[in-house]
């Protein structure tokens, strides 16, 4: 069955910029339109319409960032009937218009062609082999090593950076959290914050602080002129990033902040200087109030926040996928979701908790 689903994906990719016809696809596959549509969603977790929209807009975003083609020409080339229709669709996904994106191509979330036949487990990228670290180091030559703190999203990335000194003799700390799940408080890293987060993770406060707070000690006790935040494009990383930016504001940090957006499939890194201001209110609106803020966000954070808010709706693409696979074991469903829903960036623990919740096991 997966071979047949991959054939559908391949066909859709070939005809991605044409007027889509479910009837043509069904005739090619030899099944009814309803059956093709149902099976596509069942095996991929997204509808054919959503898949096509995300793929077309992602490819169009590359043209906007890397070429000087007219926006109208890019719209037509990517299957849109007008520049206006393209702009509406683009803003809904990226949070900005194509014109604004072209002027300020801040990091955005990638959406690659699905390959459901891949059987390998999801692996953490080997940064030491792939990232062009030298170019990033050159942008920090104004700072001595002791002036720079690298904040890495998670222990695995931290271990690679620290042991291989990928950013020289500067300091490294991991942020070992999953802020996209469980309750939080506004006063980040305070005793009340630690208490609430520990309860959400079913941990003692002491255990939570040992895993999350103690490794961040240099962030709390040293004065750095530059802080470099290394986070991925996915929702998990973006909510973590928002939390750290909010904390820096709350602590009165007045140094330079860089966000290095890591694309974990291509190993590309895009560096953006962040101007603090407004992230505390963004954190409150998104994480505490669960609403989309009116103030503008860089595209990658807008995409992450959109997925985060969807995740906290009872009916979302993750819960629907789980509900549509009642006969598979929790472990089987979890492994499939790790591969299919990489935009979310959730780990096995978060998926297992969600599966148990949907199945009424908690």
Place of tokens 């291509």: 266
**Same domain for 262 and 337?**
no
Instruction: Specify the pLDDT at position 138.
Output: 62
For the segment 33-80, what is each residue's pLDDT rounded down to a tens digit?
A: 999 999 999 999 999 999 999 999 999 999 999 999 999 999 999 999
Instruction: Specify the pLDDT at position 145.
Output: 80
**Same domain for 66 and 176?**
no
Q: Which residues pair with 259 in a beta bridge?
A: 229, 272
For the segment 289-308, what is each residue's pLDDT rounded down to a tens digit?
A: 999 999 999 999 999 999 99
Instruction: Specify the pLDDT at position 197.
Output: 98
**Same domain for 299 and 325?**
no
87, 103, 119 - which closes a domain:
103
* Rounded CA Rg of the chain: 21
| pTM summary value | 0.93
Instruction: Specify the pLDDT at position 179.
Output: 98
Burial zone of 157 (CB within 10 Å; 0-12 exposed, 13-18 middle, 19+ buried)? buried
Q: How far apart are the first and last CA of the chain?
A: 32
**Same domain for 327 and 298?**
no
**Same domain for 189 and 294?**
yes
Is residue 117 a part of any domain in this protein?
no
What are the structure tokens assigned to 221, written together? 């006790």
**Same domain for 281 and 141?**
yes
| SS3 letters across the chain | CHHHHHHHHHHHHHCCCCCCCHHHHHHHHCCCHHHHHHHHHHHHCCCHHHHHHHHHHHHHHHHHHHCCCCHHHHHHHCCCCCHHHHHHHHHHHHCCCHHHHHHCCCCCCCCCCCCCCCCCCCCCCCHHHHCCHHHHHHCCCCCCHHHEEEEECCHHHHHHHHHHCCCCCCEEEECCCCCCCCCCCCCCCCHHHHHHHHHHCCCCHHHHHHHHHHHHHHHHHCCCCEEEEEEECCHHHHHHHHHHHHHHHHCCCCCEEEEEEECCCCCCEEEEEECCCCHHHHHHHHHHCCCCCCCCCCHHHHHHHHHHHHHCCCCCHHHHHHHCCCCCCHHHHHHHHHHHCCCCCCCHHHHHHHHHHHCCCC
- Domain span at residue 93 reads 2-103
Is residue 24 a part of any domain in this protein?
yes
Is residue 113 a part of any domain in this protein?
no
Q: pLDDT (tens digit, 0 to 9) for every residue of the chain, 362 residues total?
A: 678 999 999 999 999 999 999 999 999 999 999 999 999 999 999 999 999 999 999 999 999 999 999 999 999 999 999 999 999 999 999 999 999 999 988 899 999 999 886 544 444 455 555 555 555 666 666 777 889 999 999 999 999 888 888 788 899 999 999 999 999 999 999 999 999 999 999 999 999 999 999 999 999 999 999 999 999 999 999 999 999 999 999 999 999 999 999 887 776 888 899 999 999 999 999 999 999 999 999 999 999 999 999 999 999 999 999 999 999 999 999 999 999 999 999 999 999 999 999 999 87
**Same domain for 296 and 188?**
yes
Instruction: Specify the pLDDT at position 350.
Output: 95
Instruction: Specify the pLDDT at position 326.
Output: 95
Is residue 121 a part of any domain in this protein?
no
**Same domain for 240 and 192?**
yes
**Same domain for 211 and 292?**
yes
Is residue 109 a part of any domain in this protein?
no
C-alpha of 339 from chain center: 14
User: How many structural domains does the chain have?
Assistant: 3
- In this structure, what CATH number is given to the domain that contains residue 62? 1.10.10.60
69, 103, 137 - which closes a domain:
103
C-alpha of 150 from chain center: 19
117 phi/psi in degrees, rounded to 5: -85, -10
**Same domain for 269 and 174?**
yes
**Same domain for 42 and 175?**
no
For 117-130, b/e burial (b = at least 16 CB within 10 A) is eeeeeeeebebeee
């Amino acid at each position: 069955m997966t071979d047949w689903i991959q054939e559908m994906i391949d066909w859709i990719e070939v005809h991605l910029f044409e007027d889509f016809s479910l009837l043509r696809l069904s005739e090619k596959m030899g099944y009814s339109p309803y059956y093709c549509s149902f099976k596509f969603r069942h095996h991929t977790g997204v509808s054919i319409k959503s898949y096509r929209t995300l793929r077309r807009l992602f490819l169009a975003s590359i043209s906007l960032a890397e070429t000087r083609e007219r926006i109208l020409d890019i719209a037509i080339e990517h299957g849109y009937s007008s520049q206006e229709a393209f702009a509406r669709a683009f803003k809904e996904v990226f949070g900005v218009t194509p014109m604004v994106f072209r002027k300020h191509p801040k990091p955005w979330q990638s959406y690659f062609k699905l390959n459901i036949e891949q059987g390998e487990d999801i692996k953490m990228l080997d940064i030491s082999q792939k990232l062009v670290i030298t170019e990033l180091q050159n942008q920090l030559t104004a700072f001595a090593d002791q002036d720079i703190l690298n904040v890495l999203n998670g222990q695995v990335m931290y271990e690679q950076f620290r042991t291989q000194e990928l950013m020289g003799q500067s300091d490294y700390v991991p942020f070992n959290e999953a802020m996209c799940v469980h309750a939080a408080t506004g006063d980040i890293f305070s005793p009340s914050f630690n208490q609430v987060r520990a309860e959400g993770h079913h941990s003692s406060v002491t255990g939570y602080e040992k895993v999350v707070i103690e490794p961040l000690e240099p962030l709390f006790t040293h004065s750095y002129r530059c802080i470099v935040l290394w986070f991925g494009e996915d929702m998990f990383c973006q909510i973590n990033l928002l939390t750290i930016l909010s904390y820096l504001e709350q602590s009165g940090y007045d140094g330079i902040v860089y966000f290095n957006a890591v694309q974990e499939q291509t190993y590309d890194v895009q560096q953006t200087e962040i101007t603090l201001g407004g992230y505390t209110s963004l954190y409150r609106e998104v994480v505490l109030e669960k609403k989309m803020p009116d103030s503008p966000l860089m595209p990658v954070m807008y995409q992450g926040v959109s997925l985060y808010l969807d995740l906290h709706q009872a009916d979302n693409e993750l819960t629907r996928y789980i509900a549509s696979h009642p006969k598979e074991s929790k472990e089987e469903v979890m492994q499939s979701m790790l591969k299919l829903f990489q935009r979310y960036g959730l780990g096995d623990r978060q998926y297992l908790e969600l599966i148990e919740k949907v199945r009424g096991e908690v």
